[in-house]
Structure 1
């Protein structure tokens, strides 16, 4: 038995692959295009592990995906591959349409063709698990109830619109063709191996480098924070027991304004890696102009997943954020390779340069 993971060199996908192989002997075929956010350094510990086969390629390459499905005959496809940064989607939306919409369509078609060749038992057991985001639901006011699985999509950025479109495609392939799909919507992830453009690693690394800590607008945008290994555990549970055609919200029950997250990181660094001058890292906080269409609040209601499948997060924000800061302090080589771009040079040398 084997699973196919797309985007398995990215932040969440890479953590999922590591977590999967730490708990299972079932092999993983890992397909990743290795764009700027795909980092094989994350998977360094698996370099000689026969259970892990890495393939550099695009989910939109129908021939390649079909070959992988025919050769390895996975029992499941876990689809992480996506362009995922809102700021980048504002400045260059075409890549988000190509990967998140067209790429997901191509992957669905390859999976459907493969699924139709399976025997009756294999067809019944096969799953296509699509990993999505709470951002497809749009924004909440301070007094609104958290998003549930029944809320309508109301995306406000090119990124979230492209993910909402991919959600609709996945749903349609279930209702039209019977492909046994599962969809998850997660809140903001954080943890080890997070690319430094995202808020938490950006603050940690800028603080240590003596750079400004940029905070959009007033910093009161609220997000629900989910430790990445909790997310991985939830995906495994949905894969094992989720109902085909259904959706499941995955949240951390940790709503925090962005400015509070930044101040928490500053206090933690003040203790774990004090500044030479004895002042707080909070002195580096700098408010910058808010980005266009910035959603004010996201919040996930994950009670369905707990009620029906028995999952709930193991980490609180306090425990998870401390593990995250300690990981970044203990792994300067990974950080240096990311910030210098050396990780891309290695990938290009071994797999060839691609867009």
Structure 2
């Protein structure tokens, strides 16, 4: 049995679905079901006895203690986090609560549980913390990519809260001996991503005939990682990673945001041409840049390949094509998630920015 936090969110849900597709070990899936947690993503597991869902806030220590005592997991995979930079700028408090206080509470609950284990069970236990490359700050065009020894320099409330959580995880290893692992990934994309992020937002808006908003000059660079590759890397780190160590997970795909949008438009032109026949790229609109927008992220994923044997299977082109096809084939999921709170937030955030 493993315990996954945030398993109804984008990356966490993909991990749970992949885990149960590829093996039989049960999952306790802990999620608060905030705006970004979508139970519909887990619909394929509705009648699967291997999937145990618990609607629990990771800041609720008593509920966590009950879950540990009841299910006795051999590992924790901690995905749960507030993760959207724009939301962290308008409401940083929730990010501190979930990402810092929530991680602290998880660590305390896991430490108490681990201290109660004995023998082989105690030796085998792992706490794997999933983090982001944004903790390292921003790179100039000629700077080397982030590696596992790059100093932390977070520039947004989101990345600062994730940096704090990383430091807590490290401290629990060095102070208490809790057997932790940390991963720092680059920008994920793929099925089930909440549509306030660049790639699903572009696909959905393009199909709806709406503007495709691009921040600033569109030349902010990110390293793009297909979510299925990320899930495979996490499984590898859980199995083979050295205790207390950090592993950077990247896609080896540095692309400017405007190039990502043009790639999506060209793929949609091919797979689902607009009714007017006009190229989707004509819908691109540049909007006012967000405060403190990091210029470039890049991940050096050499270590995980050298030491653990993982490398992404998808190229930028194959991963993007898979992603576009998934969104074209899953209109019901999109309709469910693009209502209510999401729609209100998008209208409020992008109003008057064009």
Q: Give your verdict on TM over 0.5.
A: yes
Task: Show the 5 A alignment for 1:127-138.
Answer: 127-138=126-137
Name the residue aligned to 2:7.
Answer: 8
Name the residue aligned to 2:83.
Answer: 84
Runs of 4+ in 1 over 6 A off after TM superposition: none
8 Å CA contact 2:224–2:255 kept in 1: the answer is yes
Name the residue aligned to 1:69.
Answer: 68
SS in 1 for 2:138: coil
Whole-angstrom distance in 1 between the partners of 2:317 and 2:158? 29
Whole-angstrom distance in 2 between the partners of 1:122 and 1:165? 29
SS in 2 for 1:340: coil
Query: Which string of whole-angstrom CA distances, capped at 9 and with x for unpartnered residues, describes residues 163-210 of structure 1?
Result: 000000000000000000000000000000000000000000000001
So what's the TM-score if we normalise by structure 2? 0.96
Whole-angstrom distance in 2 between the partners of 1:116 and 1:71? 16
**How far apart are residue 24 of structure 1 and its match?**
1.0
Please state if 1:103 is matched with 2:99. Answer: no
Whole-angstrom distance in 2 between the partners of 1:37 and 1:110? 24
SS in 2 for 1:182: strand
**How far apart are residue 102 of structure 1 and its match?**
0.5
Count residues with an aligned counterpart: 342
Q: Quickly say closer, same or farther: Cα 1:50–1:341, change in 2 above 3 A.
A: farther
Task: Show the 5 A alignment for 1:164-179.
Answer: 164-179=163-178
**How far apart are residue 342 of structure 1 and its match?**
10
Name the residue aligned to 2:249.
Answer: 250
Please state if 1:329 is matched with 2:325. Answer: no
Structure 2 unmatched runs, 5+: 343-354
Please state if 1:39 is matched with 2:28. Answer: no
8 Å CA contact 2:35–2:341 kept in 1: the answer is no
Structure 1 unmatched runs, 5+: 344-355
Whole-angstrom distance in 1 between the partners of 2:332 and 2:290? 32
Name the residue aligned to 1:273.
Answer: 272
SS in 1 for 2:29: strand
Whole-angstrom distance in 1 between the partners of 2:292 and 2:220? 12
27-36 or 275-284: bigger deviation: 275-284
8 Å CA contact 2:216–2:288 kept in 1: the answer is yes
Task: Show the 5 A alignment for 1:46-57.
Answer: 46-57=45-56
SS in 1 for 2:338: helix
SS in 1 for 2:291: coil
Query: Which string of whole-angstrom CA distances, capped at 9 and with x for unpartnered residues, describes residues 14-47 of structure 1?
Result: 0000000011100000000000000011111000
Whole-angstrom distance in 2 between the partners of 1:341 and 1:234? 34
Please state if 1:163 is matched with 2:190. Answer: no
Name the residue aligned to 1:59.
Answer: 58
Whole-angstrom distance in 1 between the partners of 2:134 and 2:290? 15
Whole-angstrom distance in 1 between the partners of 2:61 and 2:246? 26
Query: Which string of whole-angstrom CA distances, capped at 9 and with x for unpartnered residues, describes residues 43-82 of structure 1?
Result: 1100000000000010110000010001110000000000
SS in 1 for 2:16: helix
